[in-house]
Amino acid sequence: MPKFYLFDPGIVRFLLKQTHVEKGSPAFGKAFEHVIFCELSAYLAYRRPEKELTYWRTSSGFEVDFILGDMDIAIEVKATDLANDNHLKGLRAVGQEHSCGNRILVSCDQNPRKTSDNIDIMPWQHFCNKLWNGEVI
């Protein structure tokens, strides 16, 4: 089943009279993922219109939020301050099933780092800067 992104999840929250989004809540996670979706969509529309933005999911439940192009890059988004192995399951699964160019976890971590199996963990600000500087795709 495809994912559907409403242009602004704030509209839904406003209509539900839910005006405050608490960090760490499910609503914050959805909003955080949506911000990265908007950045990726804008970047692709302006700079790489030939690239498609999709997502990946297995029948066993592993998923990756965003796939750019033909498995050029797999991007998972987690609204956590400290990414750990549990947050990397989808990226590891996609790497085992496909030849994926680069795997990135975008989070609220303070510092960028790389795992032993070559997954980049990037704070969202760092990711957005690299994206718009043409260093991601």
Residue 4 placed within a domain: no
- Count structural domains, the chain: 1
Beta bridge partner(s), residue 77:
106
10 pLDDT higher than 80:
no
Residue 93 in domain: yes
pLDDT in tens, 11-67: 777 787 887 888 998 889 988 998 999 999 999 999 999 999 999 998 888 999 999
- Answer whether residue 67 is part of any domain: yes
Q: For residues 64 and 97, give the distance between their C-alpha atoms in angstroms, rounded to a whole number.
A: 12
**Whose CA is closest to 65, among 97, 84, 25, 93?**
93
Strand extents, DSSP E, the chain: 53-57, 63-68, 73-77, 102-107, 113-114, 119-123
**By residue range, what is the domain housing residue 80?**
9-132
